[in-house]
Amino acid sequence: MDKNKVAQLKFSNGCNCAQAVLVALAPKSINDDNLLLIASAFGGGVAQQGKTCGVVTGALMALGLHKGYTESNLDDKAEFYVKAQRFIEEFKQKNGSDQCKKLIGYDISIASEKEKAREQEVFKNECPKFLDSAIEIMEKII
């Protein structure tokens, strides 16, 4: 199954946007349940605060799994950040922002706004486009 379909399936099954993108982009050698646990707090713009979109944070976590650095390879640190910044810039250029509340037009950290977003089916109609966008951009970088 292609990465976009994996992300869409995870998202439609109740995973948050960060979880869906991370599972879709992560190396297959890593257990999906562990990835879901790691990304749990990043949906809805970091803990549903409307900040950095979960598809962005999920994609950046996946980038770390593929191209990240550790104490033993700090020489790769600068190159990693160039890739991470490239992803963020391309995502913002394509979508207008990397902030959840700007992307969906609702501040879901406010209960009434979250309810309006649900009523307007924003998560069903808008968020899948951001999933696809993040995967498309990150696949070129990874």
Count CB atoms within 10 A of the CB of residue 58. 32
pLDDT digits (tens, 9 = 90+) for 75-98: 889 999 999 999 999 999 999 999
Domain spans in the chain, listed from the N-terminal domain onward: 3-141
Residue (of 1, 119, 141) closest to 60 by Cα position: 141
pLDDT digits (tens, 9 = 90+) for 55-66: 999 999 999 999
pLDDT digits (tens, 9 = 90+) for 36-54: 999 999 999 999 999 999 9
Burial of 91 (0-12, 13-18, 19+ CB in 10 A): buried
